[in-house]
Structure 1
Amino acid sequence: MKRLRVISAILALICLTGWLALRTPYSPSQDLPEVAYSAFDFQEGSSAQGEALAGQVRAWPMVTAAAYNPASGILAVAHERKLTDDQLIADLNAAAGFRVEKKAFQIPSGPTCPVPMGVILALPSWLLGGAVGLALFSFLLGMRSVKPAV
């Protein structure tokens, strides 16, 4: 009987590790190229020029989206990571006819999260490891031989 419990525990651990290795399901978005977002200052031109430039940028290869905000004068571009910001700036300067620069956003000065990002990312694996350890502990504790009381 004890041998059966040990074999079933080993089999359960093998099944658990197999399930953990295969638990990430396939997603069609994994085949898509990575996308980056860039924002550019477009203060010199009019809002009509900004909208026209956004329309031109949308037609460029490796650009997935472009939008112009006339209130802030920002041209936002979503593009594949292969297309660098330097290439975008050179193409934007050529298309606009004047200097377009990358928008430099201020770093927020408010409170930050006291928990480091590494801890937040590691938390699911810690919880899973604790659950597996607890299950294994309780299983092995049940296998302990108990001497009958005399």
Structure 2
Amino acid sequence: MTKLSAFTQLYLRISIATGYLVFGLDRLGVLGKNGEKNVSWGDWEHFIKYASEVMSFLPHSLINLFAVIATVAEILFGTLLLLGKWTRAAAYGSALLALLYAISMGISYGITSPLAYSVFTLSAASLLLAQQSYYNWSLDALNK
């Protein structure tokens, strides 16, 4: 692996990880309250309103459950990718989560929405990360 490839893989891993952590922690209020600068939701209540729109095609009884699953997955994948632990599995999980989100956005808002927010790109980038043969600067590398 070249130095540039090693850096690129690390950059991709950290970029995906921080994106998931920011969104996951935002809805739990860790980044601040709703309405504050750089805060999208700020609490679960505001996030659920958005989640209800994105998953409007599902029975209402499933929305909170899927929102919890997505939040746990985002924080879990973000943490694992940041640490470089079980990187391949976390990257595959990230790819699937982003793809499901993109499809949900497409159904609820039209295909332009997931394209404009690069959600398919996130899914593809996660698949690319999963295909790496070695993860430099990671806990996975320490275990080899």
Q: TM-score, length-normalised on structure 2? A: 0.26
Please state which structure has a larger fraction of its residues in strand.
1
Q: TM-score, length-normalised on structure 1? A: 0.25
The structure with more radius of gyration = 1
Please state which structure has a larger fraction of its residues in helix.
2
Kindly indicate whether structure 1 or structure 2 has the higher relative contact order, using CA contacts under 8 Å at least 6 residues apart.
Answer: 2
